[in-house]
Structure 1
Amino acid sequence: MVGAGEGETVTPTGAALLVAAGTRFGPLPAMALRGVGYGAGGRDPADRANVLPALLGEAPGSAEPMLLLETNVDDVTGEVLGNLVGRLLDAGAADAWLSPIVMKKGRPAHTVHVLVVPERAADCERIVLAETGSLGLRRTPVDRAALPRRTTTVEVEGHLVRLKHGPWGVKPEHDDVAATAAALGLPLREVSRRALDIGRFTAHTSEEFR
C-alpha cells in the first residue's frame, strides 16, 4: 500500500490483519497505559522515522454518579444494625456499612452509611428510617470509579462457585464458598483454593483450545 512519500507503507498481509481485527483510525482512546513498544523498519526515509509504535492499555474506570446516605444513631441495637446492612444490600445498595462514633453526652453510637445509585436511593432511605427510627439522614452526591469486572462460575465437587474477575485479580464469591464448605465439610480457605485452581485451569484450556 502506498501513502504519503515513496514506497510501500504497509504490506497486503498487514492490511488484511488490520481489517480482520476491526481496526479504527482516529485519536487514541482513553486508557491506562501498561506498556509501549517500537518496531523499526529497514528503510530510512528522510521525512519521518520508520518506526511503528505499539501501545498496550486498559480501559480506565468510569465515573458513576452515586449517592452516599448517612445517619447517626445511638439507640439502635446491634441485632437491628446487623440486619439493616443485609436489607440494604438486598434492596440494591452498592455497599452498606457501619462506623462506630461518639455522639453528644459521650454516648457510643454508629453512623449508617449507604452507597447507592440515585434510582434506588428512595427505597434505601425508607428502609434506614423505618428500621432505625431516625428522624432524618444526609445525602451526599459522589462519583464512584468502577473498574471493569466480570463473573464466571466453576464447579467444586458438584457445587457451583462464582468467581469475580477484576483487572488485578480473581476472588471467589464468599456466599458460594460458605455454602460449598458447609455442604462438603471443608474449611472456607480450602474451597476458595479449589475454586481458584479450577478457574485457572479452565481459563488456560479455553485460551489454548478455542
Structure 2
Amino acid sequence: MMMNLFSSFDPTSNFYLSLNWLSTLIGLMIIPPMFWVIPSRINILWTKIIMTLHKEFKILLGNYKSQGSTLIFISLFSIILFNNFIGLFPYIFTSTSHMTLTLSLALPLWLSFMLYGWINNTIHMFAHLVPQGTPPVLMSFMVCIESISNIIRPGTLAIRLSANMIAGHLLLTLLGNTGSMLSILMINLLIIVQILLLTLEMAVSMIQSYVFAILSTLYSSEVN
C-alpha cells in the first residue's frame, strides 16, 4: 500500500531495496538477441527508425562532422525511449522520472560540448554570446542573458524529461485510485480513459526521448 502519492517514484519502496534501478539495465538482456536471429518486423522497424534519426542528426551536425557522431545521439535516444516505455508497465520502476538519471545524461554531454567549444572555437563561442544585429547598448545585457541560458541548458533538459514522466504517471495513479469508489458504469468509463491516457503516455515517451536527443544535437552543432 502506498504511503503517499509519490511513493511509486521511490527506489526503496519495494522490499526496502534499491533494486528498482535494475530496470535501467533490463534492455541488455533483450536487445542483443536481435542481432543473432533472422531479422523480424520489429528489428526492421527499429533499423528504419535508426536510419531516419541518423539522417536528421547528420543534417543538424553537418555532413563533414557527422561521421560516427550521430551514434552517441541515437544511443541516447534509445536508452531514454527504452526506460520511458519500461516505466509504463505495472510495478516497474520509472528511472527517467528521477533527476539522478536525467541530469547524469544531460550534464556530461553539455559540459563536454562547452569544453570543446571554448577550447577549440573560443572566438566563435564569444561571438555566439551576442546575437547578430544586437544594438550596442544592449550587448552587455545580451551577454548575461545568453550566458544564463547556456548554463541552465542541462537543467532544462533533465527537468523536462523527468517532469513529463512524473506528470503522466501521477495522473494515471490518481484516476486509478478512484476506481474503488465508482459504480460499474463509471468504472468502464474510467478504464477507457485510462487506456487513452496510457496511449498518450506512450506518445509522450517517444516525443520526450526525441526532444532530448535533438536538443543535445543542436547544442553540439552550436559549438562547431
Name whichever structure is richer in strand by fraction: 1
Q: Which structure has the highest helix share of the two?
A: 2
Fold in common (TM above 0.5): no
TM bucket, shorter chain: under 0.3
**TM-score between the two structures when normalised by the length of structure 2:** 0.21
TM-score, length-scaled by structure 1 = 0.22
Higher relative contact order (CA 8 A, sep 6+): 2
